[in-house]
Amino acid sequence: MEEIETVGLGIHWEDLPVGRKFRTVGRTVTEADVVNFVSVTGMLEVLFTNTEFLKKTSAIKGRVAPGALVFTFIEGLLTQATMQGVGFAFLNMELDIKGPTFVGDTIHAECEVIECRASNGRPGLGLVRTRNRVFKQDGSEVMVYTPLRLVKGRDYKA
């Protein structure tokens, strides 16, 4: 049987030099996304479940999405584009929320590799840290986070 290349696989750590930049595709946050996310996670606070509360007593005007949902959506976009088959472990991160994301907003991330090196104790694996800046369709920045991941190299053996 002829071997055929599989497309859609992730990027090995050796191909992620410091300074490399890339952008994800966009994803629009919907009402169904917010309802499903807060229901499945148990984040049933009035900020996400009571539009009358928002209208009358909140400084936030509009149907706001949880920051955890925004983070999760961006991680999904990044996983689909860069981590398929090569992601080994998500080790840690720092995360800052810069502004609200609302139902109807379209978000994307702009990523820059800020650290990349071979793992000292794990042959065939590398440590990669990126700065992921999340933007809405109007160009406003809503989140910045810097995950450190353990990523497979081209010579990784299980």
pLDDT tens, 121-136?
999 999 999 999 999 9
pLDDT score at 6: 79
Do the beta carbons of residue 77 and residue 108 sit within 8 Å?
yes
| Cβ-proximal residues to 151 (8 Å cutoff; 6+ apart), any chain | 10, 11, 12, 13, 16, 83, 86, 87, 88, 125, 126, 127, 128
> What is the per-residue DSSP string for 113-139?
EEEEEE-SSSTTEEEEEEEEEEEETTS
| pTM tops 0.85 | yes
**Alpha-carbon gap, residue 128 to 82, rounded angstroms:** 12
Give tens-digit pLDDT for 3-28: 887 778 899 999 999 999 999 999 99
- CATH fold of 13-28+65-152 reads Thiol Ester Dehydrase; Chain A (3.10.129)
pLDDT at 158: 83
* Confidence at 54, pLDDT banded by 50, 70, 90: confident
